[in-house]
Structure 1
Amino acid sequence: MTTTTNDTLVAADTDRGIDIERVFDAPIDRVWAAHSRIEQLVQWWGRGNPLDVERWEFRRGGHWRFVEHAEGEAHGFEGRFREIEPGQRIVWSFEWDGMPAHVCIDEITFTDLGDGRTKVRTHSQFHTPDERDGMLQSGMEGGLNDGYRALDALLARG
């Protein structure tokens, strides 16, 4: 299954993964900052909705937890940082309270396209194909695109 919505490519791989690609009209240092600096991240990560940051330990082994508030509901997300290569890559575990104990590993890479644009690629690896399919059916693509539109707006503001 492959879909493209608002310039975001979301594709299930042949096993247990989801690949996501998006190009942003901003240099890599700004896109990296929007992913690594909490004061910027809160402006876009929860689809632009109010976001409580319960933990943000941006270091290897550090814990993160966010609660997004939307339409009278709270949606919790959390994980731990496995690897951080400044300006290049973040690897973290990701768990959504809506699918408890279904943890995936996200590898997020940042590529400078050389023309003031940056490609962000995320590979999410799940334990089973059913867990991957559950995430795809959860509405994650819509939430992802809403978040990326909020990131576009943040990057456009400079």
Structure 2
Amino acid sequence: MTTPHATVAVTTPSDREIHIERVFGAPVDRVWAAHSEPDLLARWWGRGNRVDIEKFEFERGGHWRFVEHSDGETHGFEGRFREITPKERIVQTFEWDGMPGYVSIDTATFVDLGDGRTKIVTDSLFYTTEERDGMLQSGMADGLSASYAALDRLLAA
């Protein structure tokens, strides 16, 4: 199954995975900074809505928690960093308050395309097919597409 959302390619390569690819018109240094600096993360991560970075311990084992505010509601997300290889890879757990107890392992790889563009490849592994499908049905692809559009605006500034 492949679902294009703007320029985000979302596929399901196995019954427990979501695979996402997106190219950004900025060098890897700037795309990495937007993922590793809390003041920049807060400007794009929550679909461009106001995001409170409650915790951001950007190191192996570190805890992160973001709360997005939109339409009078709050949406919390959190996890732990498992691996950080600067400008190459971030592996973290991901949990959404809307599906408490359902944790995925997300691996984001930053690919320098060599022409001032960067591709981010993200693989999310879920414990069960039902958990993966629940995340897909939550509107995840649309939310990610909106967040990446906000990231495009930040990178263009």
SS of the residue 1:106 aligns to = strand
**Correspondence for 1:128:** 128
**Correspondence for 1:138:** 138
- For 1:39 and 1:58, locate their aligned partners in 2 and report how far apart those are by CA, in whole Å: 13
TM-superposed CA distance for 1:14, in Å, is: 2.1
**Correspondence for 1:10:** 10
1:103-150 CA-to-partner distances (Å, cap 9, x unmatched) read 000000000001100000100000001100000000001100000000
5+ residue gaps, structure 2, are none
TM-superposed CA distance for 1:6, in Å, is: 1.2
TM-superposed CA distance for 1:53, in Å, is: 1.1
Q: How many residues align?
A: 157
Which letter maps to 1:91?
V
- The alignment yields a C-alpha RMSD, in angstroms, of 0.5
5+ residue gaps, structure 1, are none
TM-superposed CA distance for 1:15, in Å, is: 2.2
**Correspondence for 1:116:** 116
Identity between Structure 1 and Structure 2 (%): 65
Which letter maps to 1:8?
V
TM-superposed CA distance for 1:4, in Å, is: 1.0
TM-superposed CA distance for 1:54, in Å, is: 1.0
- For 1:53 and 1:34, locate their aligned partners in 2 and report how far apart those are by CA, in whole Å: 14
**Correspondence for 1:85:** 85
* Equivalence map 1:7-156=2 (5 Å): 7-156=7-156
TM-superposed CA distance for 1:52, in Å, is: 1.0
SS of the residue 2:124 aligns to = strand
SS of the residue 1:60 aligns to = coil
The TM-score with structure 2 as length reference comes to 0.99
- For 1:152 and 1:61, locate their aligned partners in 2 and report how far apart those are by CA, in whole Å: 29
The TM-score with structure 1 as length reference comes to 0.98
SS of the residue 2:119 aligns to = strand
Q: Give the ranges of 4+ consecutive aligned residues of structure 1 lying more than 4 Å apart after TM superposition.
A: none
- For 2:129 and 2:13, locate their aligned partners in 1 and report how far apart those are by CA, in whole Å: 10
